[in-house]
Amino acid sequence: MEEAGELKSFGSLPLVVMSNGLGQADLAQLPPNVSTSSFEAMNASWQDMQNQLVSLSSNGVHLVAKHSHHNVQAEEPQAAAEAIAASLDLLQKKASGKKN
């Protein structure tokens, strides 16, 4: 954990970060002891962390599955496929020496 916390850069390592656009879960399915405001704050914090993660690479992209909660691959499979394609594209560009 300490080593991960000290990491400041991935250099030009190809990186695709996939985030959900609707929060981690449907608000209607929250446990009774979880407030909507605390859940929304957690989701905002999560998105901030996703942005921080992608900024660690000079060769990264942040994709958002706008119509998904946590299970993007099940809820929005096309977005998951696009993330895989973006990963392959970044890897191919890296292998051929091209920049974004």
Between CA 51 and CA 96 the distance in angstroms is 27
Q: For residue 4, tell me if it sits in a domain.
A: no
Q: In this predicted structure, what is the pLDDT of residue 97? A: 81
8 Å CB contact between 90 and 54: no
Alpha carbon separation from 23 to 50, 80, 82, 92, 97 (Å, rounded): 13, 16, 20, 31, 36
**What pLDDT, in 10s, does the model give residues 13-67?**
999 999 988 877 777 777 888 888 888 888 889 889 999 999 999 999 999 999 9
Q: In this predicted structure, what is the pLDDT of residue 100? A: 58
> Which residue segment(s) compose the domain that 67 sits in?
12-96
Q: For residue 2, tell me if it sits in a domain.
A: no
Q: For residue 7, tell me if it sits in a domain.
A: no
Beta bridge partners of 11: 57
Domain count, the chain: 1
Q: 58-75 burial by CB neighbour count: b if 16+ within 10 A, else e? A: ebbbebbbeebbeebeee
Mean pLDDT, rounded, for 64-84: 91
Between CA 37 and CA 18 the distance in angstroms is 24
Q: For residue 5, tell me if it sits in a domain.
A: no
Q: In this predicted structure, what is the pLDDT of residue 99? A: 61
